[in-house]
Amino acid sequence: MKNLVITDKDISNQLFKNSVVVNLNNIHYSSCTGGLECMKCEGACYFKDDMSIISKWMNDCQLIIYVTKVKYGCFDIPFKRMLERLIVNKEPFYTMVDGETCHLGISQLRKKLLVIGYGDATEEEKKMFKDLLDESTLGFTYSSVDAYFCDECELEETLNTFGGVDLG
């Protein structure tokens, strides 16, 4: 199973040769309606679009790389819309993890998450973003969650540094 790179900006396919690069600008996906109906139907989402494949893939691959703009210490809108659709990968029931209630992820495969955030985020916003990653990965079996930040103009250079990370 190939790894998965999800980006909200055009990047070279050559950087991550052992991964499928999904550019959010080139796919079709609807916004989650937040009605939680999928949780009542064993993760079956009402929408049948490109996210149907991506959400399944995310359960099965071992490395996921996000390339996202960071705005107000959060994912930018296209990325956030995509992430909201991943609710299908969560169990409906609540479980206590580290003293907090949360929904467990349905996949038990241990995976790594690498996030490359770009944009003019302040130190405070970077901290907020890292906290957000910690919160949103609670209940999932990530063996590591790493975040790196750069300015938009430095993104290509930063991606060159990380190119090949998916080869293991």
Partner 1 sequence: MAKILIINSSLKHAQDFVDPFVQRLLVHLSKEAECVDVRTTNSFDERTFFEYDQVIFAFMTALDSIPSSTLEVFQKLEGQPKNNADVYALIACDEYETEKCDLSQKIIEKWCEKENLHFRGSLKIGSVLFINKSASKFVVANYIKGFAIAILKQAKVYSRVTMLTENIFMKTANKYWNKEIKKKSKEKRQKK
Contact code string over 17-56 relative to partner 1, x by CB under 8 A: --------------xxxxxxx-xxxx--------------
Binding of partner 1 by 73 (CB under 8 A): yes
Question: Minimum CB separation from partner 1 for residue 38, in Å?
Answer: 10
Judged by CB under 8 A, the number of residues near partner 1 is 38
Binding of partner 1 by 65 (CB under 8 A): no
CA distances from 22 to 28, 51, 68 (A): 11, 11, 12
- Torsion 22-137-112-107 (CA) sign: negative
Compute the distance between CA of residue 103 and CA of residue 90 in angstroms, rounded to an integer: 6
In this structure, the dihedral spanned by the alpha carbons of residues 63, 89, 8 and 47, taken in order and rounded to 10 degrees, is 140
Question: Minimum CB separation from partner 1 for residue 69, in Å?
Answer: 12
Residue closer to partner 1, measured from CB, 82 or 165 = 82
Residue closer to partner 1, measured from CB, 24 or 165 = 24
Question: Minimum CB separation from partner 1 for residue 2, in Å?
Answer: 25
**Alpha helices in 47-138, H assignment, sequence order:** 50-60, 77-84, 123-137
Contact with partner 1 (CB under 8 A) among 53, 60, 77, 157:
77
- What beta strand segments (E) does 14-156 contain? 19-23, 63-71, 74-75, 90-97, 100-105, 111-118, 142-150
Residues that bind partner 1 (CB under 8 A): 31-37, 39-42, 71-74, 76-77, 80-81, 83-84, 86-87, 92-94, 96, 100-102, 124-125, 128, 131-132, 135-136, 138
